[in-house]
A = this chain, B = another copy of it.
Amino acid sequence: MKSLFTGIQFNDQDPIYLQLVVFFKTKIAAGLLLNGDEVPSRRAFAALLGINPMTVQKAYRLMEDEGFLATSANSGSFITLDDVKAAQIKSELCKGQVDAFIRTMQAMQMDFKSVIDLISTFWDQQLEGKTNVTK
């Protein structure tokens, strides 16, 4: 059983600490990270990812500010979510992605049907080598 926190891939465009925040929000949106779940320590996570502990700290600090991570000094950090907050995170992330995608496709003069066809064509190919998804 692989941990949630292994095998994370970073792109070299966006700041790592922001990609980390999106990673956690995605896991919350997917229902894979729940209220009360403990997240890795800054040092352990940094070692696992091959990055600097202060970069993880920066991400965790941002998540504390956004209200879904609580840190009690000297004993680790934990996800703090009620159903409303979890739904809000999923909704914001999802809507933001969909809006950006639609905007980009329309900027390229793609019509609705072509976009749906493209997604239909490539949806299943993306599943290879991943954990199963309801379909």
Return A107 CB to nearest CB of chain B, in Å.
5
CB pair B134 A106 closer than 8 Å: no
- Identify the A interface with B (CB < 8 A): 13-14, 18, 26, 29-32, 90, 93-95, 97-99, 101-112, 115-116, 118-120, 122-123, 126-127, 130, 133-135
- Also in contact, A127 and B99, with CB within 8 A (given A13-B14, A116-B119, A118-B94): no
Considering the chains assembled together, what is the distance between the CA atoms of A26 and B123 in angstroms? 23
CB pair B118 A98 closer than 8 Å: yes
How many copies altogether? 2
Considering the chains assembled together, what is the distance between the CA atoms of A133 and B101 in angstroms? 15
Contacts of A104 in B (CB 8 A): 26, 97
- Also in contact, A123 and B102, with CB within 8 A (given A14-B13, A94-B118, A116-B116): yes
